[in-house]
Amino acid sequence: MKRILIIATGGTIASTEDGSGLAPTMTGRELAQQVPLLDTLCELDFTQPMNIDSTNMRPRDWLRIAGIIRDAYDAYDGFVILHGTDTMAYTAAALSYLIRGSEKPIVLTGSQQPMANPFTDAKLNLYHSVLYACDPASRDVSVVFGGKVICGTRARKQRTMSFNAFTSMNYPSLAYLRGDKVVRAAGAIPAEKSGEAPRFYDSLNERVIVLKLTPELQPSIFELLRRDYDAIILETFGIGGIPDLGGSYQRAIFDWVDSGRTLVVTTQVPEEGLNLGVYEVGHAYAEKDGILKGDDMTTEALVAKTMWALGQTRSSAEVARLFYEPINHDRMPR
């Protein structure tokens, strides 16, 4: 029988009402006890590094979760992380970079309704997550939610209340859960496992911010961000449009990267990605050293990957190499 470690971190799935709103109080073991047949799938162990609303999840917590998996990796066949939905996509992406090439499944799940709610989705999500973690073909970091398996770098919370909260962005879902079966998507059958150990990382640069362009946002914002940030994820208009404003945006952006800081250009449009070469308003930035192109990656993955890359090196060339290397299907190969 397989051994799965459940890492409980809080979130809606563990929340109860205390008179001032929902707050996480239940432990991972208590949650598992509420799910019928869960103990028939495998042997379960539990650890509870935190019990927080995922709004309060921070990069230091990603490192803590990754460290738990590193220390327990040889003792278990897979890992299920119980997590709040609001920042689950960030954590799933971060773990994809902090634990590269895991041949054991690392599954994140949660729920839109607390376990104690009579109409909760928590029971099925937890059951499906353990079921998927026990499947011999499962590997790497993924989100299991609403009957779907989504690659950890492609997940995005798309709905605030519906049970199908998560969408796989610009990449197909890996599998579907139908009752007690894992149904792999066409073309998503993984190759044979190589037996190689994963690569664990323990450093991140948290000085990364997302800046969304809006009409009349002044380019002086780049100067204001210099003190606190080393990298900006710039969400442009459309397929890569950046305002001209008499050349002031170009000067501000070029000054930012010429100072040794990093700029990642993406689009605020959720689907289909970026192409700076299409319009004149983006073309000037297409080949500038220090400007990285997010292509079809999610903003959540871009934040995590930039923190990870800058945590490994300060060499702009090495940052670019790490950034453009496809990891856990986070981007289509160039």
Q: What is the tens place of the pLDDT at every residue in 71-124? A: 999 999 999 999 999 999 999 999 999 999 999 999 999 999 999 899 999 999
> Do 136 and 237 belong together in one domain?
no
- Which residues does the annotation mark as catalytic? 12, 85
Residue 48 three-state SS: coil
One-character DSSP codes across 276-297: TTSSHHHHTTTT-TTEEE-TT-
Task: Give dist(CA 297, CA 62) in Å, integer.
Answer: 20
> Do 66 and 158 belong together in one domain?
yes
Q: What is the pLDDT of residue 189?
A: 59
Average of pLDDT values for 140-163? 93
Task: Give dist(CA 109, CA 178) in Å, integer.
Answer: 16
Domain boundary among 200, 223, 253: 200
Of 85-99, 141-155, 192-206, where does mean pLDDT reach its minimum?
Answer: 192-206
Check: pTM over 0.75? Answer yes or no.
yes
Domain boundary among 181, 200, 219: 200
Range of the domain at 230: 208-324
> Do 168 and 219 belong together in one domain?
no
Q: What is the pLDDT of residue 285?
A: 81
| Domain at 99, CATH number | 3.40.50.1170
